[in-house]
Structure 1
Amino acid sequence: MTATGLADTFGPDERDVLRTLFDTIIPADEATPGGWDGGVARLLDEHLQDFMSWARPSLFHALSDLEKAGFSHAASSHAARERLISSLPQETLGALLRIAYEGYYAGTSAPAGWATTGFKPVPLGVSPLDPDPAASIRPEHVRSHYDVVVVGAGAGGVVAARELAAAGREVLLVERGANHRNSELRGNHLQGKRAELYQVTAGAGEGDLRILENQDGTTTTLAGNGSGQAYGLNAMTVGGGTRLWQGMAWRFYPEDFAMASTYGVPPDSTLADWPFGYDELAPYYDQIEQQLGVSGDAASAMATRTPRTGPYPMPALPDDMARAQFGKAAARLGWDTSPIPFAINSVPRNGRAACVRCAQCVGHSCPVDAKNGTQNTFLPRALATGRCSLLTDARVTEILHDGKGRATGARIVFRRGNTSPPEELQVTADALVIASGAIETPRLLLTSGLGNDWVGRNHHSHGIAMASALGGPNVKTPDGPGHSVATVQFVHGQHKIWGGGVMFDLPAPYPLLKAQVGQFASPPVRFGQAHKTWMRDSRVFPGALSMVQEIPHAAARVSLDTQRTDTLGMPVARLRGTPHPASVEAAEYMASRCREWVQELGGESIFTMAAPGAPQGAEHSAGTARLGADPHSSACDPTGRLWHTSNVYVADASLHPTNGGFNPGLTVMANAMRVAQLMQEERR
């Protein structure tokens, strides 16, 4: 370990005290080292000068308080040291536990706590693959003109680019994120997509800000190199969210396209029907499932509620204990259950392996490339046409247009290195497709002076409802992909509360989350030998999660901040809004249903959570350039074309008037394919 942060901050005696302190919080045993050598020292040494800098004041306070209390790393017994640590101010103790847990159970790669808990990110005998990423051109190789510029290489953008290139159009696909290798996007539980803590690897990065309007009138600056959860938890890399998703590949139900007609429009809501129904999107769902690769059971209770022309291209992932036991509990309640459809190979397909059930599917790239995203399916096909070029680490900062509704091209800004000044190039284009996500898409449209007053409005995501037990039967294992079984008993139908939402089993927690949960056990196990024993021996207790249909609030909006710009000079997004009371009602109702399921399963000491969508959005953000038949109530027409323009289209979740009671990835891709094909029909 190269001494940087620790040696520059603490003297030798102080470091000895810190070693003893963290070895008391997490003691060594015959199998694994204590906290200091097990990951804490490495984390602090490598990152005390950057994302762990918050810990320095707490460490100094702890050293001072322990010295006053007579803490001696040489003479005190272990029990005496534990008592002294317990006597520290709660704020200081809380910070020390956070440091210990993050270093020992998360870290940036393979800390000792993984072995303590039996966590294996890759199954024994599996050699991880690291395929070469898709070829990206250099800025100097960008041509002056393209038929279409597609902005954003995520779920929608890549599908649209592939459709257009296959139809003969010359396409430039521009992605702001890096062209990461798979190995860069797994195994880091602090900076990975689902760590949500620090400088997320596939996040926005330093200099990219957002402004959040708080309910009390104040504002908060959200840093792109800070917490991924606070910023919005959007993956920014080639493949977008499909690169790091868990791959749940649901179709929306027919009722999801007619929410206003089905339930009425509550006051202060922007709830509206889609301008078309399920039947319009069904053939595109069929194509996406085949071309992406989805594993599922077309005869299941869930799938039969969405008419389809044939089976899934692959069988459902194998049965497991969770599916069996949750299924039996649901049956006793009179509920049907089904295997979850996943965009994951259940059998080898298209030259890529079947799922090996790694323990870190969600938020990480697949160790054997069995997880299907646009980066390893639609993108290679787009590039293989010879008519699609991928440009990464580049930002479209403005759509150029003639002021009369016709776009003429795009201004693209890039850097040749982290310290290099930004450079600019301009390309002309016959049409543009914007697929940057439900915050960045309206930001670009507004910056460019395009669109009507509905651009940025109707921002919503999903509510989350959850019930988790701290005791009960051992029905879960750490094996991936994490979820296994679902019920759609409360998606519309007779048990409807604003559309409800799908429910499924909670995955086994990653070691860091398990350590945090231990503080709520009975009795609490916060540190010391009791904590380490609990981490090693406790079961994976059951839990259930619901993706709850969110009712968009009239106050929820993405706009431009008039005072702040990012490092490229582009106005930053300003976010505001509160959850609609209907969303709160739906989330609370579904939390009760989750609790009912876990209780029937035998869960003990159950706690529930109901969280309607947040104004800063999340990975399921939607609605900010919604489709509609009337420009007075929508931002885009039914084909995805921005109202009052002739050649600017949107092809991401911004188009969704409502976002269903399911993960929306499959719907984003199906609608993007539809938009691209309609573009071609209009061109003819």
Structure 2
Amino acid sequence: MVAMNPTELRTLSALFDCMFPASASVPGASAIGADAYLAGVLAGPYAADLETYRAVCHGLDRASGGSFAQADAGTQHSAITALENGTLRDLREERPGITFDLVLRHLREGLFGDPVHGGNRAMMGWHAVGFPGVEPGFTAEQQRLDYVHPPAARSLRDLPTDTLRKAPAVEVAGGPAPTQEGPTQDGQPRREQPSGEQPWGEADVVIVGGGAVGGFLARKLVMGGLRVVMLEAGATRTGREHRMDELSATAFRNEGGGAKFNREIPTWRRNDGEQATRAIRSQGLETALGGNSVAWGAVAMRFYEDDFRVRSATAARYGADRIPPNSSLADWPLSYDDLAPFYDEAEDLLGVSGQAWTSTGGNPFEAPRHHGYAMPPLRTSGLGELFADAARTCGYHPFPLPAAILTEPFRGRAACTYCSFCSRFGCHVDAKASAQNTVLPEAMNSGLLRIVSGARVLRVLTDGSGRATGVLYRQPDGEERIQLGGTIVLATYTFENVRLLLRSTDSGHARGLGNETGQVGLHYITRQQPAVYGVFGGRRLNRFTGPTAQAQAIADFSADFFDHSDLGFIRGGRIAAFNQYLPTEASAVLPPDVPRWGAAWRDFFVHAFSRTAMLFIDPEILPYASNRLDLDPEYKDDLGQPVTRITFDIHQNERRLTDFLQDKADNLLQRMGATRIWRRPPLTGPISTHDVGGTRMGHDAQSSVIDGFGRVHDTPGLVVLGGSTFVSLPAVNPFLSILALALRAGDKILQDAAR
């Protein structure tokens, strides 16, 4: 591998030391090892960025009269400012400043990532900000406010070997192992199965996608006696990946998306008049067995009753004219009561901790439940108590978020240890539910499920009558195969569900399957999460202890639980105080008056890391026909297929709602004692992992793609499941509802098969 030359390395070291300079108490970037980290990864995972860095070094030297490293401070500052603004000569950028974003991200990784990756020498970066390092868990006392944690003493390499022992594979004793058609560890292709067009024979059901939807659906179907083949684009894995390693789990590097998503990142534009560009450095999605169920934050909430009839309920209470005229808001083709039994089933499979509403606590707005949760909620941290106390003084009703994280041993899984690494990480004790530690072992043990990994599905196949009969998929070695089945289920993420339908054409579906009425891709919604941050100058919040879902929340401003008569918007949002705050990501959380680099950035972050709270807002973003997904006419993935193009912007209703919710969060932070408060912008990006719509369900084929059971209106034999089927996006995490809808569809598939 070609490396940077000594001149380039000197420029890089000088650049990093200007961006994170030394102070009397904090070492500079090169002393911490950030430049050494980058030099290493440019010969490894970031090799594709090497030429970009060479151009940066050349441009900085040229802007500094020949040598950036030897230039005076003023000249260096001007050159870095040009890089940040996208005006440094000879840089070719898709958008101004994108190269600086890359450099800054890599600097932060070298400063605050685990030392095992080559930076953060002797944990100096962690010591500077007060991060306690890689710990398998924290006690209640260690989560209290103002607890002083000792300096970081260990990284990944220092953990006892049994802490990160190898997790069991998804098969159980006596059951067949998932088929791995990808390369072996030595890089040679596997030939464990006979070659040919269709090695598995015709299945009763073919499931495209081995994530949570595919896994939970597969279990239901094989328990009902059907033969299922699941095609997964990524590799098999245990469900404990990225354990306690912020760098490998980060959305920026997204090693979990390396098999597919990182090669097909969608493009984004706000409207038809803009040129779409890649939504790079956006939220990463997992491409491997178990999908995002390995990396999710594990908040497991049900929708509220009126979330299924938003349009009719709004019109009945306020009049139809209160619905924004450009919104495509609609009611769901099913009710909460229709889904309630499947919420029960999903919670039982996951193992959900929580507190059902009673006179002594819980969420008073929750929909009726037939029984309580399987176990008590996650304990309340010091930050959670601070938030809950402030909420009560305002007359609100704080409650612990229900989470698919065990607080007691459950079906062979251990209870949560309250470590710092949960959302975006696999769980080192299997306390957090994933497809691997819940449904896949039982499904595999049935002998009726075959999992084909490394299978990138290219299109859905149909017969002469237009019925879906199978899929065409590509193996890692380039060979293409066909898998036939009686029912074909698309159970991929929103973007891929839409992309597969649009790419699957036949003589009767020239615009793609499900798209006779032009509905595929319409009504796309992504969650804007306009958080409000607060720094508590005199207090240590220790937010870096405990999982994200160890949170207190209020739903007083969700749905239509408050009067909108005199407000300029409809619907609402949830406000919550989350835990989990890790230094690499946290180093980008800055008030608008703090620059992103230099001494001011260093001083702010060193002080604020252990003192910063975030009130996380989940607003209900309405659907609009102008927000949609289609195939990008220019950008292709690594197979030469068009990537998904996102056209998305928020509208006036959501801007007013965001202002309202941020005002409430601001007031709560003041009551909690924050001394410095700032807000994220109302439009935070095109991808959020709460991405829904595009294959909307409904009774009418003129305004939807599928019916209430996921069956595609214009293509018999084809079912679509997942977030893409949502009609709206309530102020609730969608994961539990996605699973409940999949389980309900599974019942219907079994009923149809029985006939």
TM-score bracket for the superposition, by shorter chain length: 0.7 to 0.9
- Cα distance in 2 between the residues matched to 1:351 and 1:220: 48
Farther-moved stretch of structure 1 (493-502 vs 235-244)? 493-502
Q: Where does 1:244-259 land on structure 2 (aligned, <5 Å)? A: 244-259=295-310
Farther-moved stretch of structure 1 (29-38 vs 148-157)? 29-38
Farther-moved stretch of structure 1 (344-353 vs 489-498)? 489-498
- Cα distance in 2 between the residues matched to 1:398 and 1:530: 49
Of 619, 627, 640 in structure 2, the residue corresponding to residue 548 of structure 1 is 619
- Cα distance in 2 between the residues matched to 1:211 and 1:636: 25
Other-structure match for 2:544: 478
CA displacement, residues 49-106 of structure 1 (integer Å, 9 cap, x when unaligned): 3246533333344445667689659xxxxxxx86775565423479475553232123
- What letter is aligned with 2:502? L
Contact (CA 8 Å) 2:627, 2:649: kept in 1 or not? yes
Other-structure match for 2:136: 123
TM-score (norm 2): 0.80
Of 559, 562, 583 in structure 2, the residue corresponding to residue 494 of structure 1 is 562
Contact (CA 8 Å) 2:588, 2:596: kept in 1 or not? no
Cα 1:530–1:155 shift into 2, 3 Å:
closer
Other-structure match for 1:136: 178
- Cα distance in 2 between the residues matched to 1:105 and 1:408: 51
Q: Secondary structure at the match of 1:290?
A: helix
- Is residue 57 of structure 1 aligned with residue 64 of structure 2? no
- Cα distance in 1 between the residues matched to 2:698 and 2:604: 57
Q: Secondary structure at the match of 1:539?
A: helix
Contact (CA 8 Å) 1:505, 1:542: kept in 2 or not? yes
Other-structure match for 1:261: 312
Contact (CA 8 Å) 2:261, 2:286: kept in 1 or not? no
Q: Where does 1:271-670 land on structure 2 (aligned, <5 Å)? A: 271-299=329-357, 300-302=361-363, 305-416=366-477, 422-449=478-505, 450-452=513-515, 453-472=518-537, 473-482=539-548, 483-491=550-558, 492-496=560-564, 497-517=569-589, 526-527=597-598, 531=602, 535=606, 539-562=610-633, 565-612=636-683, 614=685, 616-670=686-740
- Cα distance in 1 between the residues matched to 2:292 and 2:437: 13
Contact (CA 8 Å) 2:11, 2:67: kept in 1 or not? no
Contact (CA 8 Å) 1:27, 1:532: kept in 2 or not? no
Deviation (angstroms), 1:623:
1.7
- What letter is aligned with 1:279? D
Deviation (angstroms), 1:532:
6.3
Contact (CA 8 Å) 2:489, 2:720: kept in 1 or not? yes
Of 672, 680, 683 in structure 1, the residue corresponding to residue 742 of structure 2 is 672
CA displacement, residues 94-150 of structure 1 (integer Å, 9 cap, x when unaligned): 947555323212378473323433242433777124314434314536412100001
- Is residue 243 of structure 1 aligned with residue 285 of structure 2? no
- What letter is aligned with 1:456? G
Q: Secondary structure at the match of 1:147?
A: strand
Q: Where does 1:99-178 land on structure 2 (aligned, <5 Å)? A: 99-106=106-113, 109=117, 111=120, 112=123, 113-117=125-129, 118-123=131-136, 127-134=163-170, 135-139=177-181, 140=193, 142-178=199-235
Contact (CA 8 Å) 2:10, 2:69: kept in 1 or not? no
Deviation (angstroms), 1:344:
0.9
- Cα distance in 1 between the residues matched to 2:277 and 2:201: 37
Other-structure match for 1:46: 41
Cα 1:274–1:624 shift into 2, 3 Å:
same
Cα 1:172–1:500 shift into 2, 3 Å:
same
- Cα distance in 2 between the residues matched to 1:206 and 1:335: 42
Cα 1:508–1:651 shift into 2, 3 Å:
closer
Cα 1:55–1:348 shift into 2, 3 Å:
farther
Deviation (angstroms), 1:670:
0.7
- Cα distance in 1 between the residues matched to 2:615 and 2:262: 36
Contact (CA 8 Å) 1:519, 1:525: kept in 2 or not? no
Aligned residues: 657
- What letter is aligned with 1:42? Y
Task: Give the % identical residues.
Answer: 27
Contact (CA 8 Å) 2:489, 2:719: kept in 1 or not? yes
- Cα distance in 2 between the residues matched to 1:638 and 1:669: 14
- What letter is aligned with 2:463? D
Q: Where does 1:191-230 land on structure 2 (aligned, <5 Å)? A: 192=249, 195-198=250-253, 200-203=255-258, 204-205=260-261, 207-208=263-264, 210-215=266-271, 217-222=273-278, 226-229=280-283
Deviation (angstroms), 1:475:
3.4
Farther-moved stretch of structure 1 (55-64 vs 443-452)? 55-64
- Cα distance in 2 between the residues matched to 1:596 and 1:354: 35
Q: Secondary structure at the match of 2:587?
A: helix
Contact (CA 8 Å) 1:157, 1:652: kept in 2 or not? no
- Cα distance in 2 between the residues matched to 1:498 and 1:533: 38
- Cα distance in 2 between the residues matched to 1:639 and 1:93: 50
Cα 1:37–1:89 shift into 2, 3 Å:
closer
Contact (CA 8 Å) 2:467, 2:716: kept in 1 or not? yes
Cα root mean square deviation, aligned: 3.1
Contact (CA 8 Å) 2:206, 2:489: kept in 1 or not? yes
- Cα distance in 1 between the residues matched to 2:66 and 2:313: 67
Contact (CA 8 Å) 1:354, 1:370: kept in 2 or not? yes
Contact (CA 8 Å) 2:239, 2:436: kept in 1 or not? no
- Cα distance in 2 between the residues matched to 1:266 and 1:550: 12
CA displacement, residues 512-548 of structure 1 (integer Å, 9 cap, x when unaligned): 24333467577x6944599369526753222211111
Contact (CA 8 Å) 2:240, 2:430: kept in 1 or not? no
Contact (CA 8 Å) 2:242, 2:248: kept in 1 or not? no
Q: Secondary structure at the match of 1:465?
A: coil
Contact (CA 8 Å) 1:465, 1:594: kept in 2 or not? no
Deviation (angstroms), 1:291:
0.9
Deviation (angstroms), 1:10:
2.2
Contact (CA 8 Å) 1:150, 1:432: kept in 2 or not? yes
- Cα distance in 1 between the residues matched to 2:499 and 2:354: 37
Structure 2 gap segments, 5+ residues each: 86-99, 138-158, 171-176, 182-192, 316-322, 506-512
- What letter is aligned with 2:737? T
- What letter is aligned with 2:302? R
- Cα distance in 2 between the residues matched to 1:671 and 1:562: 33
- Cα distance in 2 between the residues matched to 1:183 and 1:271: 39
- Cα distance in 1 between the residues matched to 2:748 and 2:681: 40
